[in-house]
């Protein structure tokens, strides 16, 4: 939509648009930054050889043909200290890159060997890119919210300014002479 259309709707329409956009971007950015706090797998120091035993494809429902991008849940089987762990969901960086029958080395927490992640997930900073992108999205959200505040201030200024009326004596032509 071009700027002229928004100007015809007035600053109140711009206010609500920027407010909603800022709120949505703020939520997305915050979730991205917070997700990096909960995806710290650096203490997953155990290693085991695993095999992918199941892969569940999940298609997006974005189109009528259901041919949108897909994601996958990957399940692995492995043994730790002689104990078998089967059908364990694989988490971490790019687990969907593995298919049934693939062999890989997984990482697990020594106290919780039933939780498996990909080895690259255990490297410090593996999820930092999400924090950087999330910070950028938060900056955009703040910019939208500041812009919405400016639109609201402009709207209030326009309402407080009385409309300029021409001199009433010039509104009508003079009456005809008799």
The alpha carbon of residue 80 and the mean position of all alpha carbons in its chain are separated, in whole angstroms, by: 36
Residues 167, 112: Cα–Cα separation, whole Å: 84
Look at the block and give the residue holding tokens 């593996």: 126
State the pLDDT confidence band at 152, using cuts at 50, 70 and 90.
Answer: confident
What does the chain come to in residues? 178
State the pLDDT confidence band at 162, using cuts at 50, 70 and 90.
Answer: low
Residues 28, 144: Cα–Cα separation, whole Å: 14
The string of pLDDT tens digits covering residues 71-121 is 889 999 999 998 999 999 998 878 888 999 999 999 999 999 998 998 888
Closest among 61, 63, 85 to 75, alpha carbons compared: 85
The string of pLDDT tens digits covering residues 21-67 is 999 999 999 888 887 777 778 888 899 999 999 999 877 665 455 55
- Give me the pLDDT at residue 90, please: 92
Q: Give the chain's end-to-end CA distance (angstroms, integer).
A: 58
State the pLDDT confidence band at 10, using cuts at 50, 70 and 90.
Answer: low
* Contact indicator for 70, 11 with CB cutoff of 8 Å: no
Closest among 92, 94, 95 to 108, alpha carbons compared: 92
């Amino acid at each position: 939509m071009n700027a002229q259309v928004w100007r015809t709707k007035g600053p109140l329409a711009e206010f609500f648009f920027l407010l909603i956009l800022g709120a949505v971007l703020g939520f997305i950015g915050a979730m991205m930054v917070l997700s990096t706090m909960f995806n710290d797998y650096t203490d997953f120091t155990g290693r085991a050889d695993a095999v992918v035993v199941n892969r569940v494809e999940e298609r997006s429902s974005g189109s009528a043909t259901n041919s949108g991008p897909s994601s996958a849940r990957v399940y692995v089987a492995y043994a730790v200290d002689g104990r078998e762990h089967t059908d364990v969901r694989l988490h971490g960086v790019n687990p969907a890159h593995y298919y049934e029958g693939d062999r890989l080395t997984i990482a697990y927490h020594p106290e919780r060997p039933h939780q498996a992640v990909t080895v690259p997930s255990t490297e410090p900073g593996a999820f930092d890119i999400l924090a950087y992108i999330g910070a950028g999205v938060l900056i955009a959200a703040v910019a939208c919210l500041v812009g919405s505040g400016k639109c609201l201030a402009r709207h209030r200024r326009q309402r407080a300014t009385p409309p300029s009326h021409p001199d009433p004596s010039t509104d009508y032509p003079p009456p005809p002479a008799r």
